[in-house]
Structure 1
């Protein structure tokens, strides 16, 4: 099945290893392992995407570069699609820092988009950055008319960030709600795959290693909550 929007989490970074809240652009680079993950992801794609985009963060650009090398599809940077901004907590590390962030992040998934990271963003502000860009990609590449006009139809790949991907999917797609969206994190280079529906919504057909129905699932081994 082609004609999907595939949100790809970047490869492992030095910040992931150190458990840092690393959200400012450009941010930290990929580790050697992260580069290998990105290279393997690009080489594992079963079909060539119709378009490839990434956030301006260094880790996303590097990951997209490996996908570009494997597929021949040029990577384009989309501004304002960086990770959820940690604000005053930028650079914090460890369990206490992550729990501080998670209190706000869980509130967003539960519908309190007014909650705000100190010195950072509210849920409303994150979605205001992302949703118009997602809609533009849909209109340009994923409507029936756009797909019919493509000589080689394919998926649209957007290399992005763990917390942002989960929040955006929570608000775009039916059938993905908390606690599933807060308990099931994405590992590096895992994906969320979205199929556009006729009513303007999206259907989530993959969340990491999981496929519908998305009910109470065993959570992944805990990793960094964002990046």
Structure 2
């Protein structure tokens, strides 16, 4: 099946570079609303049979125009919310952002038991995202849809893709930021594995690139984390 992993539109916290991951979170900026309104046209070539959003406000607002245009129900699931920042919540300093990114990318580099300070482990974060992907896959195998869109969050999408897509390395995910309403397209099934087809419109190569600068969920460019 085909999964469209879509980052939400711009929020005030993105503009301020805050690690804002708690429920319900902010709404969209004016630019974010325009980005959401543009999604139906951007995805006009995709035959989307089911649409998911996280429990955070910004993903639901982003999904709404697509749902309205396609006549789809938005399935709200906590499993695809942003990676919890824990004790780093609402910080915007480089030290906090670096700790967040280093921890998150360590999860997909094999250290999934590492805990975000005051937050969740990689096992917990990846398991909850996997559960929603598995539900989406069941829709596909039932014939209800072969393409499912999940409106989620930048760090959550990048970390899940690096952990689960066979051709996305940690280095590739760290190097390639995902701007607001950027889309990562993957194909496969939970039992057979996943292959990334495109990342924000660019083809994902069989062997990912290395070297890293990272914007992370706060949208600020930083040197890639050491994982």
Deviation at 1:102, TM superposition (A): 1.6
Deviation at 1:13, TM superposition (A): 0.5
* TM-score normalized by the length of structure 1: 0.87
Distance 1:175 1:47 in 2: 22
Structure 2 unmatched ranges of 5 or more: 220-227
CA RMSD of aligned residues (A): 2.1
Alignment of 1:90-109 (within 5 A): 90-109=89-108
Distance 1:132 1:105 in 2: 19
Tell me the equivalent position of 1:216. Answer: 209
Deviation at 1:202, TM superposition (A): 1.3
Distance 2:6 2:32 in 1: 13
Q: Does 1:43 align with 2:46?
A: no
Tell me the equivalent position of 2:225. Answer: none
Alignment of 1:178-217 (within 5 A): 178-197=170-189, 200-213=192-205, 214-216=207-209
Alignment of 1:83-122 (within 5 A): 83-122=82-121
Distance 1:191 1:103 in 2: 23
Secondary structure of 1:179's aligned partner: helix
How many residues are treated as equivalent by the alignment? 217
Range 188-197 or range 51-60, more displaced = 188-197
Q: Does 1:6 align with 2:11?
A: no
- Any runs of at least 4 consecutive aligned residues in structure 1 with deviations exceeding 4 A, and if so which? 217-220
Distance 1:32 1:134 in 2: 30
Deviation at 1:100, TM superposition (A): 1.9
Q: Does 1:134 align with 2:133?
A: yes
Range 96-105 or range 24-33, more displaced = 96-105
Secondary structure of 2:201's aligned partner: coil
Distance 2:63 2:191 in 1: 30
Any idea what the Cα deviations from partners look like across 1:95-132, whole Å, max 9, x if unmatched? 23211212212322321111111110111110121112
* TM-score normalized by the length of structure 2: 0.87
Tell me the equivalent position of 2:153. Answer: 161
Q: Residues 33 and 218 (structure 1 numbering): CA distance in 2 closer, same or farther, change over 3 Å?
A: farther
Deviation at 1:224, TM superposition (A): 4.2
Deviation at 1:199, TM superposition (A): 5.2
Distance 2:46 2:80 in 1: 25
Distance 1:198 1:134 in 2: 8
